[in-house]
Each structure stands twice: as structure tokens, then as C-alpha cells.
């Protein structure tokens, strides 16, 4: 059922009905649960300003089912997509790409994962590849439409991404802004609150929390290694270990009921399985070990200092060269399912955490302040007061 168009506070006659007029109108363009979670970190930098009115819209995307319910659960003001493309806004924010050319506003574009760490997936149909693999999100085909660079500001996590942009889309260099990674900063801040998260998950003081992180697709852990979770639950003492699974929200596109059914035996055996709307950083902040794949969560965990392992498989070719994801694949110890699991977890060689973090962000701890400054520049408003320090994520 299609949403009705809004008459207030967005709409042609909205000024008749609003209680606070003259606000700058900011549109958060949410394609998926993942992009929505990233945008919330950034929206928090401006939404408390009495001069700003924030609205959300669900953009076209293959993985957008459930996003509308997610946003409604947050109490977000929802604008139907068709109306969003017919209104003018003072600023729009997005962390994915479909439909952006239809929006009438200065556009801020940012990654929805750990920087621009993946190569673009080619179609598995049609003729031969047209050239070497490109870094996803920094290709000219996404950033340039109708002969113009689409965003007004392209937020980057790392200075090295400028060089990628110079190769792939030099026209976008003038609007590139290196801010650091606000998601990483929030995770690091949250690690200081790990005991509160462990209490919320009922992790005993003598228990170690093992988190399995799987990205979506056929090459993610959940798609390739169906017996990993049962083996961990069978092979680790429940008195000494708890096991959790963090599944990329796109995995849940199989259906909440179906994923719950696939994991029912494991959940009965004690598996912690957060649903896709929950903030994954609380579980990573509470973790003692992470077993991951090439997804962003594994890189974030390693950069935040969580001991991290990978399965005994070739690391995916999807990782862009020189990125945190690539380094984790090179340094993380491999988990062998046919060997004693507890011994492997306890003896895993450490990753160079500082080196991973240095590839992830050029400005650790500064992303919120840097993002806020550029958002207010685009809004043409003076910044109010001092920037508040980064807050930890809420306990589940």
C-alpha cells in the first residue's frame, strides 16, 4: 500500500500548518537497513538543531524491504519516495546510489561500509568484463550522471581514496572531503562500555563471547559454511564460551522466519542472534573474539582491537587493494574446523590493530566534528555551540 503524501512539515502548503517555520529541510535517503544505520550516525549531528527539519524517504533498492518498518520504529518522519522526488530540500544525505539523480537538493554522499573497501561486482551475465575491477562507490558511472558530478560533497574515510578517485572519476575530486569514519569512532567509544553490553546479552564474567560475522551473498560465511555455527556450539564449552552471529541485514532478505528457522537448533543451543534492526556495534564492543569474512564488520572489529580470525578459505578478491579489509585477510589467523576450536581461539596470533585502523580512517576520533562542519557549510548555517563528543551505541 502506497504511503499518502505529506502536507506537513513537507509539502507545497506546509508553512500554513507547521509549528516551527523557516527550518532548513534535510532529507535522509535510505536505500537499505545498512545505509540507514550509517545515515543515523550523521543525522544525529544536525537533527537536534531547532533550525533543522529532518525527513526520511525509502529509495529504490533490491534490499529495501523492511526499511520502512525500521524507520517507523525509530519514529522517523517518512516522506513517500515519489513525493521526495517532487520536493526541494536544502540538503540530502545518502549512503547508496539508486535514484539519486531524481532528488532536488545539494547531495552529500558517503560509504555505507568500512570506507570504499570493495571492488564492484560485475554482472554474471552478458559479454566479457569491460576492464579491470573498479573500487565500488568511486566509479564514474555512479558519481556522474547527465554530464555532471551528482553529489555536492563526497565524504571519504581515508586520504588514500583520493588517489582511487583520481584514477576512476577525476571530475569528482573537487567535491571530495576526507572526514574519517564516524562508524569506527562510535565503535571505539562503545568498547569502553563493553561491560554494559555484556550484561545486556547475559554474558557471564567467566565467559568469552565469540561473534561470527557474515556478509551477504554466496561468498559470505553464512552462505558458504553452513556448519560453522553448529560446530562452534558443539566444540566450545558453554560454561566458558557464548556464541553469537551477526548477519548482514541483506542475509535477512531470505525472510525473518526463514533465517530463524535455519538457526533454530543453534538458538536453542544458546546462539545469540540479533535481528537486522539492532545495532551490531554493541555485540562487537562486547566480543572477545570475532570470526569473520571479507565484510566490513570484520575490518571494524579488527581495527577496534577485537582478536579476529577468518576461515581456512581464500580471502575474497572483492577486497580493494590497500584497504583495511585486504590487510585483515592477510594477517588474520585461519580457523580450521577440524582442529580443536578452543585452543585455536586462545592461541590465535594478533592482528596489527593500529595498522588496520590506519587504513580504515585518516582522522580517528574526528569524523563527527569534521562531518558536522561540512554539513553546516552546505546548509549555509553557522554551527551552534561546541561539537559534542561521540556517544556510545545504546545497549540492546
Tens of pLDDT, residue by residue over 64-121, are 999 999 999 999 999 999 999 999 999 999 999 999 999 999 999 999 999 998 887 7
More confident site: 125 or 151: 151
Q: Where are the alpha helices (H) located in 201-323, listed in sequence order?
A: 221-224, 228-235, 256-262, 264-268, 281-286, 296-303
342 pLDDT band (50/70/90 cuts)?
very high
Supply the pLDDT for residue 377: 97
Q: Which residue has the cell 561473534?
A: 211
State the DSSP H helix or E strand holding residue 384, giving kind and residue range, or none if neither. Answer: none
Supply the pLDDT for residue 348: 86
Q: Where are the alpha helices (H) located in the chain, listed in sequence order?
A: 33-43, 67-73, 81-84, 140-143, 160-168, 182-191, 194-200, 221-224, 228-235, 256-262, 264-268, 281-286, 296-303, 324-331, 341-347, 353-360, 367-379
Supply the pLDDT for residue 13: 86
Handedness of CA 311, 312, 317, 320 (dihedral sign): positive
Domain boundaries, the chain: 14-184+363-379, 193-360
Supply the pLDDT for residue 318: 78
Supply the pLDDT for residue 351: 92
Over 80: is that where the pLDDT of 132 sits?
Answer: no
Over 70: is that where the pLDDT of 122 sits?
Answer: no
Supply the pLDDT for residue 125: 67
CATH top-level class of 193-360: alpha beta
Mean of the pLDDT values across residues 290-311?
A: 95
Instruction: Express as a percent the part of the chain with pLDDT over 90.
Output: 84
Strand-pair category, 289-292 with 208-214: parallel
349 pLDDT band (50/70/90 cuts)?
confident
Q: Which residue has the cell 540507514?
A: 36
| Contact predicate 379/24, CB 8 Å | yes
Over 70: is that where the pLDDT of 51 sits?
Answer: yes
Mean of the pLDDT values across residues 336-353?
A: 92
Distance of CA 147 to the CA centre of its chain: 29
Supply the pLDDT for residue 3: 83
Q: Which residue has the cell 537533527?
A: 47
Over 90: is that where the pLDDT of 212 sits?
Answer: yes
Over 70: is that where the pLDDT of 19 sits?
Answer: yes
pTM, rounded to two decimals: 0.94
Average pLDDT over the chain, rounded to an integer: 93
More confident site: 3 or 140: 140
130 pLDDT band (50/70/90 cuts)?
low
Instruction: Express as a percent the part of the chain with pLDDT over 70.
Output: 96
Q: Which CATH number fits domain 14-184+363-379: 1.20.272, 1.10.10, 3.40.50, 3.30.70?
A: 3.40.50
For 354, other C-beta atoms within 10 Å of its C-beta total 11
15 pLDDT band (50/70/90 cuts)?
confident
Most confident among 112-126, 255-269, 377-391 (mean pLDDT) = 255-269
CA angle 290, 337, 333 (to 5 degrees): 45
Supply the pLDDT for residue 35: 97
Amino acid at each position: 500500500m502506497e504511503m499518502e503524501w505529506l502536507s506537513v512539515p513537507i509539502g507545497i502548503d506546509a508553512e500554513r500548518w507547521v509549528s516551527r517555520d523557516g527550518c532548513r529541510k534535510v532529507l535522509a535517503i535510505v536505500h537499505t537497513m545498512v545505509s540507514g544505520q550509517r545515515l543515523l550516525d550523521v543525522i544525529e549531528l544536525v537533527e537536534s538543531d531547532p533550525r533543522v527539519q529532518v525527513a526520511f524517504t525509502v529509495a529504490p533498492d533490491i534490499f529495501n524491504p523492511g526499511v520502512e518498518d525500521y524507520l517507523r520504529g525509530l519514529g522517523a518522519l517518512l516522506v513517500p519516495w515519489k513525493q521526495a522526488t517532487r520536493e526541494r530540500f536544502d540538503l540530502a544525505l545518502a549512503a547508496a546510489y539508486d535514484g539519486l539523480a531524481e532528488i532536488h537538493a545539494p547531495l552529500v554522499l558517503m560509504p555505507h561500509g568500512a570506507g570504499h573497501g570493495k571492488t564492484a561486482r560485475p554482472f554474471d551475465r552478458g559479454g566479457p568484463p569491460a576492464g579491470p575491477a573498479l573500487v565500488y562507490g568511486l566509479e564514474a558511472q555512479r558519481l556522474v550522471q547527465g554530464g555532471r558530478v551528482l553529489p555536492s560533497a563526497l565524504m571519504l574515510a581515508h586520504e588514500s581514496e583520493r588517489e582511487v578517485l583520481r584514477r576512476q572519476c577525476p571530475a569528482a575530486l573537487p567535491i571530495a572531503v576526507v572526514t574519517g569514519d564516524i562508524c569506527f569512532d562510535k565503535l571505539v567509544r562503545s568498547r569502553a562500555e563493553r561491560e554494559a553490553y555484556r550484561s545486556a546479552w547475559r554474558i557471564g564474567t567467566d565467559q568469552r563471547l565469540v561473534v561470527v560475522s557474515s556478509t551477504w551473498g554466496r561468498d559470505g560465511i553464512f552462505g558458504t559454511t553452513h556448519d560453522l555455527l553448529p560446530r562452534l556450539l558443539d566444540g566450545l564449552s558453554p560454561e566458558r564460551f557464548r556464541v553469537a552471529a551477526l548477519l548482514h541485514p541483506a542475509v535477512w532478505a531470505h525472510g525473518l522466519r526463514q533465517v530463524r528457522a535455519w538457526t533454530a537448533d543453534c538458538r536453542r543451543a544458546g546462539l545469540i542472534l540479533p535481528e537486522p534492526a539492532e545495532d551490531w556495534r554493541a555485540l562487537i564492543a562486547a566480543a572477545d573474539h570475532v570470526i569473520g569474512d571479507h565484510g566490513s564488520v570484520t575490518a571494524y572489529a579488527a581495527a577496534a582491537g577485537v582478536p579476529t580470525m577468518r576461515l581456512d578459505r581464500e580471502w575474497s578478491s572483492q577486497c580493494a587493494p590497500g584497504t583495511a579489509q585486504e590487510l585483515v585477510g592477510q594477517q588474520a589467523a585461519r580457523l580450521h574446523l577440524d582442529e580443536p576450536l578452543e585452543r585455536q581461539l586462545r592461541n590465535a596470533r594478533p592482528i596489527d590493530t593500529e595498522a588496520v585502523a590506519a587504513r580504515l580512517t585518516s582522522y580517528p576520533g574526528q569524523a563527527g566534528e569534521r562531518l558536522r562542519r561540512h554539513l553546516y557549510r552546505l546548509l549555509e548555517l553557522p554551527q551552534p555551540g561546541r561539537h559534542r563528543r561521540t556517544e556510545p551505541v545504546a545497549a540492546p
